[in-house]
Each structure stands twice: as C-alpha cells, then as structure tokens.
Structure 1
Amino acid sequence: MEKGKHHPIINFSDILFVYKFKEGEIKHHTIPEHTLLYVYSGELTVNYQSHKFLVKKDECIFLARNHNVWISARAADGVEFKSAFLTLTRNFLISYFRQIDCSILPSEKAKRMPEVMKLPNNLHMNSLFRGLVTFFMAWEKPTSQYMELKQLEGIKTLIDINARFCINLFDFVSPWKIDIQDFMSKNFMEDLTLVEMARYTGRSLSAFKRDFKGISDLSPQRWVTRRRLQEARRLMEENNKKVSDIYLQLGFKSYSHFSTAFKREFGFPPTHPQKEIEE
C-alpha cells in the first residue's frame, strides 16, 4: 500500500476498500462480492434499480454480489465524507460454510434477503468498522489474518441480524442457488454477457445453459431481447411512453435496432402499437 491522498481507492488485501469520493460525484459500481458499506462521516446515497437508500454516519448497508449500484456521497454537519467497503469473499464464505452450525440455517422455504438493504443500527457492526478505521487512518496495513477475522465478524453479525442472510451469503449450495428465472426477470435491462449471466447466478457456463433450458426454449440472449420488447410495449401502451424515451433505457443500442426487433416480434412498428391492434 502506497501513501497518497489523491489515490481514489485504498485496497487492504482485496477485503477492505476505502473509496475517496468527490463532493456530489456519482459513481457506478458493479459489486463483485457480498459487501458491507459503512459510513464513518458525511452521508451516502445508494441507488439500486428503483430503490434509493440514504446511509448516514455510523450506518451500514448490505450490497449483494453481482449487482450494479449508483453511489454518491456528500459532507454532513460540516464533516467530510468517509466510508469503507468490507467484502465477504466467495472463497471465505465457502470455507465458513463447511464448518457452520447447521442449526442456525433458515428453512429451505425461507426467502432470501433483499439484494441491497440498509441494516439496523447494530453495536457489533459499529465495533467491527471502528476497529478497522485505525489502520487506514494511520496508513498501516492490517495482517491477512486480522482481515479474515473481520470477514468472520461481518458474516456472524449479518446472520445475527437475520438468519435469512444465509440464503444470500451461501447461494452456491442447494437449496439456495440463485433462481435463474428470478435473476433474469430482475436484470433483463442490464448489459450482461452470457458468461456474466452464468457467473452472477453462481454457475459454470455449461451449467447455466443447461439450467436455462428448464425455463425457456429460447436462448438466453433471445429471451432477454423478447423480455425487453415486452416491457417496451407495456410502457408505451400502459404508461404512454414515447419510443425515444425508452429504447436506450431498455438496453437497445440504437433506435433502428429496437424498431426492427419490435416489428419482427409483434408484426407492426413501435410507433403506435395500440392503434395497430385496434385496426
């Protein structure tokens, strides 16, 4: 780790990250691992899909792995913004699960926690992050063993808050593997490659293709295109949205690409679909 006030990111063993935000700057983050984001001072806004979360001093938010969020930060009460991200890495979670007390696990019918969730105020979480702040404030790197202890503390604190976090954290095992149809329905507007779809649902590429055949005869790419077109039609018919307002939002690269795909799918151009139906 090299000292320098202008570095945007300070990385401690790929587990603890300290981000330096400019006032009012909005950053897009793809969350590669389950993450706890803690605010030491100032306040943070996290936008995820249609949800908006305000995280203030001494508050923490859970960000599930393989999701995209938009983050902006600002000073509050005259104090600059400071925060840290603690990642709960997949390898560490796998190791932890092998030794877990099965009595703490929720039932197989329990539902997973939200992908992004502001956590209730918790003394254990505050203690975890207050213990970390001394290191990056002094530009001292904690040992890998110490960081593993902090990951362990983070996992236990989440499970103490709600045992259903096990479903999110251990989604690499049955019965909690990520449901492909649910994932695709929530993320069809994201620009994901087939490899990313597989990785984000905790599968190899071959396993993803095999499992996807269980929900559709279409290829994953064709399924995404059809779902986007269905959403476009719904927005135009029910919400009276203009084509120019939605085609980019829905992931189409150009109007001509969208228009051609729409006409191929429904048999008429996207300008006034409802009118075409009535005629």
Structure 2
Amino acid sequence: MEFETKYISAHIKLSEFKGKSFKTEVVFEHHMLIWFISGETKIVQADDSHIFTAGDIFLIPRNKITTVISQPSNGLPHKAVAMHLTTEKLKDFYSRHKAIGRTKPLETIRIFSNHPLLESCMASLIPYFDLGHDLPSDLAGIKIDEAISILRAIDNTMDGLLANFEEPGKLDLSDFMERHFMFNMTLDRFSYLTGRSLATFRRDFKKIYNTTPQKWLTEKRLNLAHYQIKEKQRKPNDVYIETGFENLSHFSYAFKSFFGYPPNALLGK
C-alpha cells in the first residue's frame, strides 16, 4: 500500500506515502498546519515556492491555488502530520479570545521550522493515531486550541490572519489569470477564486482575451514550458508538472501539436 492515513479526527491526520512521488493541485478550504516527519515536499504557489523536509513546520493558507509535489527522501517515506484549522473552529476560538490587530487575508505560507513549542504540540499527537475510537471525543479540539494558542504566542500577526473569515471577493480577472494560469485547476475553481459564477467568469474572460479559457490556458502553459526547456534547459519531465499538465504523454503530444516539434528537440540548443 503506497498511501496510509490515520486520523485522530476529521481535522487531524497522519499521512504516509511510500511510492516514488506524487503531485496534486489543490485549493485548501481551511488553513493547514503541517509538521513534516520525513520525506520531501515542494509547494508551489503563484508568487513563491518552497521545499520542505524533516522537521519543518509550516502553515498553508486557505483559498490559495497550491501545487504539492511530494516524494521520499534519504530512504524514508513522505510522512507528515496535518491539522486543519477550519473556519468553524477558528470562529469558535475567537468567540472565546479577542483578536488583536486588523484582520487580513493570509497571502503566503508561514514557516515555523524547528520551533520547540509547535514541534512539541505536533509530536504529542503521534501516540494518539493508533488509539482510534478509544480517544476522548474532545481531544482533537483541545489539541487544535493548543496549536492556535502557540501560533498566537510566537507570531503577533497571527490573530489578524486567522481571524479573517472573508470569502474571495471579485478580483481583477486578468491579473489573477496571469499569475495562476500554470495551475491545473477546473474552471469552477478559477471562477470561485476570482469571486464570480462560472457563467460570469466565461463572459468576463471572453471580453478580456477574445478566446475561451481552455484555449488560452493551454497556449499560456505551452509557451511557459517552451521557455523553461529552451532558455533554462530544463528537462520536459521536470517542466510539465509545474506548467499545469497532468502527465508527460499529454504534455508531449500537446507541445508537438502546437509547436511542430517535440519538447526534447529544444534541449542542447
């Protein structure tokens, strides 16, 4: 079995992956607090990317398009504890604790690697994953409260970030698409994250680009891949994932159909 996941609750899990690598593109509904035990993960968002390894602790913001590429490292599987800081839980927490500072969206990943308080909190969860239904029903809530309290203690901007419960508003469509076209998301997701219905998204897109979203996305991704291979001399196998294609064979076919030659033809030129 390549994947194994154990739960303390629906919002606290221990995941282990023993295969070669896997890639997913997601928009997390909740903030995700991650403690990395072993393996390696590359996380790519519109404005930055990070590589995380054993011991790293970080917070991924909700409602941000994120590419996650994970693999084993140093002979050990990809293994991590993830805690969902749900809107419901955060609203409950801040009904009991006054938020300090102005609320604002959490735009980028926050890194707390090797912080002793957070590491102790996350490591204390490990013994509970094998107990299953024998756990006290309120344990998960207590541990999430503990994690939120530690985040507030070590970062005085956390209240302003975690206490923001706004949903995506209507954004500048052109700016958003130019920054996020390389993420392989559905049009439903693109429309939601720009604050539009799918019908309004299609209509606004047509006004700006005078083409369909599908055609525009494919051409933008292929041109980015062409640049990465020709100018940066990166291998097609390393490029297709980061430019929004699901697999290498589909990427190679689309590339040759669009440019008239296969991606490998650019290497060494």
TM-score by length of 1: 0.63
Using a 3 Å threshold, how does the CA distance of structure 1 residues 20 and 238 change in structure 2: closer, same or farther?
closer
1:104 alignment partner, SS class: coil
1:114 and 2:108 are equivalent in the alignment = yes
- Structure with greater Cα Rg: 1
Higher relative contact order (CA 8 A, sep 6+): 2
Could you list the per-position Cα deviations for residues 59-83 of structure 1 after superposition, in whole angstroms to 9, with x for gaps in the alignment?
Answer: 423233452312234578xx99864
Q: Please list every run of 5 or more consecutive structure 2 residues that lacks an aligned counterpart in the other structure.
A: 263-269
Q: In the TM superposition, what is the alpha-carbon distance from 1:17 to its structure 2 partner?
A: 0.9
* Counterpart selection for 2:142 from 149, 169, 173: 149
Partner of 1:84: 81
Partner of 1:28: 23
| Cα separation, 1, equivalents of 2:158 and 2:174 | 21
Sequence identity percentage: 22
Q: In the TM superposition, what is the alpha-carbon distance from 1:243 to its structure 2 partner?
A: 8.6
| Cα separation, 2, equivalents of 1:176 and 1:195 | 15
1:192 and 2:207 are equivalent in the alignment = no
Could you list the per-position Cα deviations for residues 88-136 of structure 1 after superposition, in whole angstroms to 9, with x for gaps in the alignment?
Answer: 1233235445666343336x6xx84533x43143343134224322312
TM-score by length of 2: 0.65
Q: In the TM superposition, what is the alpha-carbon distance from 1:205 to its structure 2 partner?
A: 3.3
1:46 and 2:41 are equivalent in the alignment = yes
Which AA in structure 2 matches 1:46?
T
Q: In the TM superposition, what is the alpha-carbon distance from 1:229 to its structure 2 partner?
A: 4.7
Using a 3 Å threshold, how does the CA distance of structure 1 residues 96 and 177 change in structure 2: closer, same or farther?
farther
Partner of 2:122: 129
Which AA in structure 2 matches 1:129?
M
Which AA in structure 2 matches 1:44?
G
RMSD: 4.7
Partner of 2:5: 9
Partner of 1:205: 197
Q: Please list every run of 5 or more consecutive structure 1 residues that lacks an aligned counterpart in the other structure.
A: 263-268, 272-279
CA contact (8 A) 1:113 1:165 kept: no
Could you list the per-position Cα deviations for residues 128-179 of structure 1 after superposition, in whole angstroms to 9, with x for gaps in the alignment?
Answer: 2243223124445534432123223323333433344557646642799988
Q: In the TM superposition, what is the alpha-carbon distance from 1:47 to its structure 2 partner?
A: 1.0
1:103 alignment partner, SS class: coil
Could you list the per-position Cα deviations for residues 201-249 of structure 1 after superposition, in whole angstroms to 9, with x for gaps in the alignment?
Answer: 3856359729966x94555445534532552464467447799986776
Which AA in structure 2 matches 1:205?
S
2:124 alignment partner, SS class: helix
| Cα separation, 1, equivalents of 2:89 and 2:113 | 24
Using a 3 Å threshold, how does the CA distance of structure 1 residues 192 and 73 change in structure 2: closer, same or farther?
same
CA contact (8 A) 2:99 2:160 kept: no
Using a 3 Å threshold, how does the CA distance of structure 1 residues 97 and 162 change in structure 2: closer, same or farther?
same
| Cα separation, 2, equivalents of 1:6 and 1:237 | 35
Partner of 2:34: 37
Could you list the per-position Cα deviations for residues 29-82 of structure 1 after superposition, in whole angstroms to 9, with x for gaps in the alignment?
Answer: 55533222224xx633111235322233xx423233452312234578xx9986
Using a 3 Å threshold, how does the CA distance of structure 1 residues 171 and 255 change in structure 2: closer, same or farther?
farther
